[in-house]
Amino acid sequence: MNVRDVENRMRSVLLKLGIDDFRVRWIPEGNPKFSRKRGYVDLKSRTIFIYDRNEDEAWSTFLHEIFEIRLRRLTNLYRRFINSLLDILDDEVYRRKEDFLNEIPQILSLVEEARRNEGEKRKG
């Protein structure tokens, strides 16, 4: 089992799939930080990490992570859509809050005026 050879073959698959901005790291000795994970995709470093000890399992995990990368393209569409909706909602909430804040002096004035009128009625 030559780790670098397996990584190179995995990298070749990525290139053929057009996922050429990712690299692969197979670390058969595992990673205590991720002891329960067989692998994961680190988007910051654009690296697929695989922790399986067995080469066949490593290929299975590699396949899983490729699917994960491909599925992110779909979920990113939803994320962008939801974020756009949140931006619109945020703008509307801000506008309504500003409208309310601008109404506060009028509300206070009306309440004070009504209070004074009630007091004058009691006197008269």
pLDDT of residue 73: 83
Pairing, β 39-42 against β 47-50: antiparallel
Q: Which residue has the tokens 């309310």?
A: 100
Report pTM.
Answer: 0.65
pLDDT of residue 26: 95
Whole-number Å distance between alpha carbons of 33 and 31: 5
pLDDT in tens, the chain (124 residues): 699 999 999 999 999 999 999 999 999 987 666 667 889 999 999 999 999 999 999 999 999 999 999 998 888 888 899 999 999 999 999 999 999 999 999 999 999 999 888 767 666 6
Number of domains the chain contains: 1
pLDDT of residue 117: 84
Whole-angstrom distance between the N-terminal and C-terminal Cα of the chain? 102
Domain that holds residue 108: 3-123
pLDDT of residue 123: 66
pLDDT of residue 36: 72
Report how far apart, in Å, the C-alpha atoms of 46 and of each of 8, 19, 42, 76 are.
Answer: 16, 10, 6, 16
Say which CATH number the domain at 118 has: 3.30.2010
> Using the 8-state DSSP alphabet, how is residue 11 labeled?
H
Q: CA nearest 21: which of 46, 4, 50? A: 46
